[in-house]
Amino acid sequence: MVPEYIVSFNTSFFPVEEVDFLIVGGGIAGLRAAIELKDYNTVIIYKNGLEETTTYNAQGGIAVGIGENDSPENHLEDTIRVGCGINKKEAVKILVYEGIERVKELIDWGINFDKINGKYHFTKEGGHSSKRILHANGDMTGREIIKTLYKIISLYPKIKIFHNFFLIDLITFDDEVRGALILDCSKNSLLIIQARSIILATGGAGQIFQETTNPPSITGDGHSAAYRKGAEFTDLEFFQFHPTTLYIAGAPRFLISEAVRGEGGVLRNVNGEKFMESYHPLGDLAPRDIVARAIVDQMKKTNSNCVFLDVSNIPLSIFKKRFPYIYSVCNLYKIKIPKEPIPVRPSAHYFMGGIRTDLWGRTNLKNLYACGEIACTGVHGANRLASNSLLEGLVFGARVGKIIKENLPPKAGRIKIKYNFPQKTDILIDREDLKRSIRSLMWRNVGIERDNELLSYAYEKLKNWEKYAFIKEFNEKEGFESQNMLILATLITKSALLRKESRGVHYRKDYAEEKDEWKKHIILKKGKVFFRKEI
């Protein structure tokens, strides 16, 4: 049961804006796609603004296999190894080879990746066999990239950008995606944007978990809109938890980049003991899923609510230059770097699963494309290799724009639209309480460690909440967000129940081993479940 927003094509109640292409979301993937479509009337909408994209908040950097003693082949091998055997190899090849050209393009456009003695400075993060992470302005790589792309886009008058536009729903006609119903939050008014094609680039869905590094606006709105219209989803059980986020009462779960460990930071438990070497040969630079579970294990063993990141062997001058943003946040909370360790614990970070697409971002719905974190091409498998996400946004954002240009759909005549919200009801729903309940339930039951009992309880709870949450008519962004979070939380929990093994970030205590028979993908579509060897 999902909320059905019924569209009839008889009477027009809302203003209709006709464009060539609509891009929902303006992180690295959405902006890179827009650059390819610069010669067409293209609209990019942001739910809030640039600062609330996950790209803007990305710290570590962008992985590319061009450093000394490195190669795209090595990058490919690391990506597949960390992905635990279910990556789509063709997608990974595209990532690591086309990624080199996309990064060179960024440099040509003005990105100043950090250098030492005139040479690019590559750092190392968990799961990588070489130093291959480029970074800009220390730990503000995402911010520098998105500002540069935004500036490039401002040169093209046919690209229009609107902030505070919220995607309520996609509009389909004759089994084709033809437009979107949008809430203009600034004016509290509705409008239809009709387009030849729509690109979803809305990012992940970290806000469905109580602890997350994602900005407040990342609530899975694009996912849920696509699901309602029949899009196929895959790998939804694979949600990555970043091992190290700042843990201080009252502070947001601020990301402490893995690059801090790459530069020499060491994890210690509450007793001051190093522990990662006992969990993995790579120690503090083991893949993220292993580090996250090790931290949880140490917290249980020491009856504590965090561990500590010891940065005492990184000189202050180097720390301030390499991690200016992290330093400023630690300073704000009176942590004296490098003398005092940083209290950290895992938080929900990155969604490997998403809308199932081909290698060009095409979904199973005509005229609907997806790129970036919302999409699942199979590039990450069961666990994303650190700093592959910005690269993925660049590569597959560009590919989506290119394939649309090469296969231009015809302009549709203007459609007249009547839009009916779900039936009115007198039921009262505290939407913020519903959101808090979803987050708490998902964190406790569908988090880093799972089992049948926890997952079954969560699934039953979510289905019960659906019974009343989906008949309520909302007229504001927060209400729609609560429904979207509920839809996606239910799908993630269902996928986690179905996969009866542990693989990558999906760890089940009752099925603790990988199983060869589970080298396959779970594909969900409204009312249907499929199992396939290949995405």
Show the tokens assigned to 240.
Answer: 């990555």
Pairing of strands 239-246, 342-351: antiparallel
Q: What is the largest CA-CA distance in the chain?
A: 69
Burial of residue 105 (number of CB atoms within 10 Å: 0-12, 13-18, 19+): middle
The answer to whether residues 66 and 366 touch, using CB atoms and an 8 Å cutoff, is no
Show the tokens assigned to 314.
Answer: 């990184």
The answer to whether residues 227 and 53 touch, using CB atoms and an 8 Å cutoff, is no
Write out the DSSP string of 234-270.
E-TT-EEEEEEEE--TTS---B--THHHHTT-EEE-T
Classified as helix, coil or strand, 493 is helix
């909320």: which residue's tokens?
A: 3
Give backbone dihedrals phi and psi of 308, rounded to 5 degrees, phi first: -130, 140
The answer to whether residues 493 and 458 touch, using CB atoms and an 8 Å cutoff, is yes
Catalytic position from the list 102, 253, 261, 288: 288
The answer to whether residues 198 and 20 touch, using CB atoms and an 8 Å cutoff, is no
Burial annotation 230-241 (CB, 10 A radius, 16+ → b, else e)? bbbbbbbbbbbb
SS3 readout for 122-138 = CECCCCCCCCCEECECC
C-alpha to C-alpha distance for 24 and 328, rounded to whole angstroms = 32
C-alpha to C-alpha distance for 335 and 308, rounded to whole angstroms = 12
Show the tokens assigned to 297.
Answer: 């294990």
Catalytic annotation present for 362: no
C-alpha to C-alpha distance for 307 and 328, rounded to whole angstroms = 21
CA–chain centroid gap for 517, Å, is: 28
Classified as helix, coil or strand, 429 is coil
Residues marked as catalytic: 288
